Structure 1
Amino acid sequence: MPDNGSQPKKRSWNWKKELREWTVALGAAILISFLFQNYMYAQSQVHNISMQNTLVAGQRLIEDKWSYRFNAPLHRDIVIIKGPESPKRLVKRVVGVAGDIIDIRDGKLILNGLPVEEPYTKGMTNPGSFRLPYTVEEGSVFVMGDNREQSEDSRDLGPIALSSIEGKAVYRIWPIAKFGDIN
C-alpha cells in the first residue's frame, strides 16, 4: 500500500473545552432550578400547629406558586402567606374572598349569612380581636387555620392582601405515609 503521508490523526483531548461545557451545563441547570423554585413550584415545611388536623408540624408540602398568577384563590384553598401582615411565614385556609361577608356565631363560621360546614376544623371558632361581621375587600382574602383555637390568622391579623400570598399548598410529600393531595 502506498504511503501518501496521511496517517490517522489522533484526537487530542481539550480539557479546557470540556471544562467550559460542563461549567455552562451546570450553570444552566442551577439557573433553571432557581427559576423553577422561585416562580413555579417550591417545597415548604409546616412549622406550627395552626392547621391541625389537616397539616401538622414537620410535614413537607409542594407549593404551587404559578396558578395564582392567573386565578384568584378560592374558598378552602390552603395558602402560604409571606407578607407584611405577619413576620412569620403562615399556612392557612381561605375562608373568604372579595365580596364575602364573614361572621362568627355560636362557634361557627358564617359566610354570607349561612353557616359553613367545615369537617376539617379542630376546636371552636371564636371571633378573635377582629371586628365582625366583615366584608372582604377586593384584592384580599380572609384566612383561618383549621385548628381554630390555636391559630394566628385573619381574626387577629385582618385580611391578607393577594400580593402576600406566595402560593397554594397542593401536595404533601413528607411523611411518606401521608403522601398525596391535601384535603
Structure 2
Amino acid sequence: MQLETKHKKNWLKELREWTVSLGIAVAVAMLFQTYVYAQSEVQNVSMQNTLVAGQRLIEDKWSYHFHEPRHGDIVIINGPESELRLIKRVVGIPGDIIDMHDGDVYINGEKLDEQYVKGQTFAGSVTLPFTVEEGQLFVMGDNREHSLDSRAIGPISRSSIEGKAVFRIWPLPKFGTLNE
C-alpha cells in the first residue's frame, strides 16, 4: 500500500513539474512573439516584386527600441492611419524633403536609386515638396502604381511602426534575408 501511495505522489509531482515547465515555456514564447520577433504574412500586392501575397516574414519588433527606422527599411505598420496592417518601405525620415517628378522620387534634392520599384511613382494626394516632420515617416510600397501609402494617407506616425521585416521564411525557394 505504501509503495502505491509513494508512486502516486511521484506521479503527481512529475505532472506538476511538467505543467509548470510547459506554462513557463508558453508564457516566454508569447512574450517573445509580442515584444521581440513575430511571424507576419504579406496580404497584398503593394510591395511587389520585393514581397508578394502569401509570403511569410519574420518581423523584428525589438531593434527600433534602440535606433530609429532608416531609409530603405521595410516596416510593418499597425496604427490609426489605416484599418489594415501595412507593409511598406521607409522613403523619408524626419527632416527629409520628399519630391516626385517624371516618375521618380527625390529626397533632399537627390534622385533615389530604387532598383526594387515596380512602375512609376506619382504624387497622389500629397502636396509636394513634402517635409517629413519629427515623429513621422514617409513610406511607400515598392509597387508604386498599386500601393496605399503616404502619398494617399499622409505620413505615418513613428508610434504606428510595429517592427521591421527582416527575414522571409516562406516560400522555401525565397528563404533568407530581405534584400533592400
TM-score, scaled relative to structure 1: 0.93
Partner of 1:118 in structure 2?
Answer: 114
SS, match of residue 44 in structure 1: strand
2:70 corresponds to which letter in structure 1? L
Runs of at least 5 residues in structure 1 that lack an aligned partner in the other structure:
1-8
Q: Pick from 137, 145, 152 the counterpart of residue 141 of structure 2.
A: 145
Which SS does the other structure have where 2:44 is aligned? coil
Aligned 1:28-107 pairs, distance under 5 A? 28-107=24-103
Which residue in the other structure is 1:6 paired with? none
How many angstroms apart in 2 are the aligned matches of 1:118 and 1:148? 11
SS at match of 1:47: coil
Q: What is the letter of the counterpart of residue 141 of structure 2? A: G
Render the CA deviation track for 1:45-95: whole Å, top value 9, x for unaligned: 000000000000000000000000110000000000000000000000000
Equivalents in 1 of 2:135, 2:63: separation in Å? 16
> 1:140 deviation in Å?
1.1
Query: Partners in 2 of 1:162 and 1:27 — Cα distance?
Result: 34
3-state SS of 1:98 partner: coil
Question: Structure 1 stretch 45-54 or stretch 10-19: which is displaced more?
Answer: 10-19
Q: CA deviation at 1:131?
A: 1.1
Partner of 1:155: 151
1:130 counterpart (126, 129, 140): 126
Query: 1:165 maps to what in 2?
Result: 161
Match of 2:172 in 1: 176
Aligned identity (percent) is 65
Q: Count matched residues.
A: 175
> AA paired with 2:65?
R
- Aligned amino acid, residue 23 of structure 2: G
Of 16, 20, 33, the match for 2:16: 20
* 4+ aligned runs moved over 4 Å, structure 1: none
Deviation at 1:114, TM superposition (A): 1.2
Secondary structure at the residue paired with 1:92?
A: strand
CA distance in 2, matches of 1:65, 1:79: 10
Report which of the two has the higher share of helix: 2
